[in-house]
Structure 1
Amino acid sequence: MHDRAAVIKNLILHHPGGGAGGNDGLLRRVCGAAAQELAASGAGISVMTEDGVRGASAASDPVSERLEELQFTLGEGPCIDAFASRRPVLISDLGALVARADGRWPFYAPAAHEGGLRAVFAIPLQIGAARLGVLDVFRDRVGPLTNAELADALTFAEATVTALLDRQEQAGSSGFADIDDDAAEYRAELFQAQGMVMVQLGVTLGEAMARIRAYAYAEDRRLSEVARDVVARRLRFDGDEL
């Protein structure tokens, strides 16, 4: 197992998918190496704060980026559940989940299935009581991870946590401090947008958030981008001229 961990760390270090340095480059390398090694159609990572707000994120390819982002647009999905429960979420047949009337993720599951996702495995990035985020492994075919693949997925998660913490220590004031700053800025912007839409439509805060999420989904845009446009007054929900 120790040898396998060394192999996976080497795969992450030398995978060509990283491009630029920093946390983004590291996360992209992990996603690319994980997708390749786990015979997956793709992989995604979201680094999150303790209250579940996302900071940095990355994916191995555009389709996986869409599947990763869709969870935060809709407010549900394997990544969010794995982070909250601190346990892996392993779905070997997403279609079976969609077919159930009381199925998990009533919005995410059918949307992701329609987009070609057939199985998804979400592995928390955590050390002790500290939660850092989630690694999502996506497949375009039905079927569980083998025992060896699950062990490798857990090792990928462990290696990612180690690499991120090492980078934080080396970078001093950067690393997760930057991620926390990004998350705080995102949270403030989203809350401000939520309040503005509430006033525009005369609805509750919960309904305002639902409207923002629905718009982001319908327009195939990131939730953060829609919030930014609302705050900048480039987008209104009441039909008034800008």
Structure 2
Amino acid sequence: MLTTARGPVVAVLGGDATGRAAAIRRLVADGPAASAGAVTFLTHLCRVAARELPATGVGISLMAEKGVRGLCVASDDLGERLEELQFVLGEGPCIDAYATRRPVLCGDLAGQDPNRWPVYTPMVREAGIHAVFAFPLQIGAARLGTMDVLRDRAGPLRAGEIETALLIADISVDVLLAGQEDDSGDGSGLVGDVGNRAQLFQAQGMVMVQLGVPLHEALTRMRAYAYANDRRLADVARDVVDRALRFDSDTP
């Protein structure tokens, strides 16, 4: 298993691309198998990425069409909170990378257009993050989600670091697609975990009926409620489905 010490285990940023790829794949293999489930395996993948780039934190979000989050994991608690924050706010690098199907590379949050992510940027900088990079997880026309790289110092990723990030993104896609093919349908494994997004879809539909608004506005209202009450969007969705929370015209 990987240790928690900072610093790359191998010099993945040196040598040729084939050597770097082989080194990263060995590190990924030296951990839980994909059959352990999406949360366990992807968390391990995030930790490998955070150490080998290196980065302050790395997060992976799996999404459905229109950017609805299905699953969010990260290398640490801060990374997970900042990953979740983008879906509560509806803005941020992973939202843009998913929508445009292209990497979003912001080496200095202080120097970017303040209107790009007007709420996300100051909150992330306050948390000590000064550079963010998002890579879409996709193959062909299929979009699965994004991988975010967070750093507590400003500065661009070097060419080798971008190659490493793209390689880890590709490994994520390979494993997720294999999980779709191998899933037993019993709620375990990758697809079982990703299937938790169904609760968010169900909650969206319930809020749509409660408020008499379109589906996309129902999600906006849920995000606003989560933000106003400092809660995770997934927890709000669960409360709606469990009928512990009902939206009406007075709900923030």
Same fold (TM over 0.5): yes
Aligned length: 232
Residue of structure 2 equivalent to 1:5: 21
Q: 1:206 to 1:47 in 2, by over 3 A?
A: closer
More deviation in 27-36 or 215-224?
215-224
Cα distance in 2 for partners of 1:130, 1:211 equals 28
Q: Deviations over 1:153-193 (max 9, x none)?
A: 11111111112223333334465643563223321212313
CA distance in 1 between counterparts of 2:174 and 2:245 reads: 41
Change in CA separation of 1:50 and 1:119 when aligned onto 2, cut-off 3 Å? same
The match for 1:30 is: 45
Q: CA deviation at 1:80?
A: 1.2
Which ranges in structure 2 are unaligned for 5 or more consecutive residues? Answer: 1-16
Query: Alpha-carbon deviations, 1:23-71, whole Å to 9, x = none?
Result: 1111001110101111110010011223322222211111000000001
Kindly, what percent of the aligned residue pairs are identical?
52
Distance in 1 of aligned mates of 2:243 and 2:200 = 17
Q: 2:117 aligns with which of 98, 105, 111?
A: 105
> Aligned pair 1:79/2:94, yes or no?
yes
- 8 Å Cα contact 1:49/1:180 also seen in 2: no
The structure carrying a bigger helix percent of its residues is 1
- With normalisation by structure 1, the TM-score equals 0.83
Indicate if the aligned counterparts of 1:189 and 1:227 stay in contact, CA closer than 8 A. Answer: yes
Q: Who is 2:198 aligned against?
A: 184
CA distance 1:210–1:157, shift in 2 (3 Å): closer
Q: Which residue of 2 aligns with 1:96?
A: 111
Report which stretch shifted further, 118-127 or 43-52.
Answer: 43-52
2:178 to 159, 166, 174: 166
Structure 1 unaligned blocks of 5 or more: none
Question: Paired residue for 1:222?
Answer: 232
The alignment status of 1:139 with 2:151, answered yes or no, reads yes
Shift of 1:84: 1.2
**Alpha-carbon deviations, 1:192-223, whole Å to 9, x = none?**
13443x26xxx887766544323312332111
Deviations 1:69-102 (A, max 9, x none): 00111111111111111100001111223xx45x
Deviates more, 1:187-196 or 1:118-127: 187-196
